[in-house]
Homo-oligomer: A and B are copies of this chain.
Amino acid sequence: MQTVKAAIVGASGYSGEELVALLARHPRVEIVAVTSRQSAGRTVADVFPRMAGSAIAGMKFVEPSVDALMKSGATTVFLALPHGLAAEFAAPLRKAGVQVVDLSADFRLKSAEVFAEFYGERHPAPELLAESVYALPEICGGSALKGAGLLACPGCYPTSILVPLVPLLRRKLVRSDSIVINSLSGVSGAGRKADVPLLYAECNESLRAYGAPKHRHLSEIEQELSAAAGETVAVTFTPHLVPVTRGMISTIVVRPAEGTGAGTVEAAWREAYGGSPFVRVVTHLPDSKHVTDTNFVDIAVREDKRTGRLLLFSALDNLGKGAAAQAVQAFNISQEWEETTGLA
């Protein structure tokens, strides 16, 4: 079985670490380089004691540079970097013909203007936006991903929201001006950053909304919802930080189109996701603990007959289907492999 040589840039963050773990046991990937500014010179096992005993335990982190990546022989580079920084690597790598799987926000938006509005800075490489694919396999479809050179992997909030909503908007089953979203995220979603509000003693026994009403992820959420609805969709989105390490749930309240009930929704989902190995339509209310360390997203629906609204629920692992595992899934499809390769 032929393998692809891959490198992971920004490997010492939570998404990066997860990528390293997934790719290290991926049967068709050979990791040829892992980079990290802080950890350069240290081995994988030293930085990630979990990885001691794995095949790449002794591999050394190197300083991130396009040169080093080119020399590594990697033909695919995964970027687990902050937005802005990712584009600095993506541009020269694409020029050199290297496939880029980017987990940052840099290439998720089709519009450089929307990027500037939500991220407060000019887009670093607008010329690449046309090429990039919004790599949510269940939404963009496999054909868009096959052979793609620049995969813009979606964030965790968008994934948890788009998976339940997009099939309904495409089928005009919900009123697009009625969408109210509440999401709960585990703390690893904020990254491995030395930040006082992320300390254990700050997050434990703490429940708080944040980032409302205009969280950055809203931009990609609305871009994709609008594309699905065929009209501009604006939603109310409130993220919350809650004391779990991993896990995310979203509760989405909508007004259905005339005649749409829970059964219609489930039928639409089953039609849309019948061939998707990672979407599970469940009858219980999804619980994040059932999807941690997996690439699954669980979705469910309830009718609120008293108010005529529908409630949509989803659960995923913010570092799994919400980040690294989904990136591997999209990469698998881009390589025309089974999309579950290395993810079961």
Contacts and interface: CB of A to CB of B under 8 A. Distances in A.
Contacts of A214: 304, 306
Interface in A265-302: 277, 280, 282, 284-294, 296, 298, 302
Interface string A61-101: 00000000000000000000000000000000000000000
Copies of this chain, how many?
4
Nearest to A195: B194
Contacts of A282: 49, 52
Given A201-B192, A208-B285, A244-B205, A52 B280 contact: yes
A290 B52 CA distance: 9
A53 interface: yes
A163 to B, nearest CB: 15
A281 B79 CA distance: 32
Contacts of A280: 52-53
Closest 3 interchain pairs by CB? Answer: A213-B304, A200-B203, A208-B287
Contacts of A49: 282, 284, 287, 290, 298
Interface residues of A, number: 76
A305 B244 CA distance: 31
Nearest to A313: B209
Contacts of A186: 201, 207
Contacts of A306: 213-214, 234
Interface stretch (A133-141, A223-231, A246-254, A326-334): A246-254
A200 B204 contact: yes
Nearest to A244: B205
A246 B202 CA distance: 11
Contacts of A285: 208-210, 212
A309 interface: yes
B184 A245 contact: no
A260 interface: no
17 contacts: A187-B204, A192-B202, A195-B199, A198-B201, A200-B245, A204-B204, A205-B245, A207-B244, A207-B247, A209-B286, A209-B313, A210-B285, A212-B285, A213-B303, A234-B306, A242-B242, A242-B244
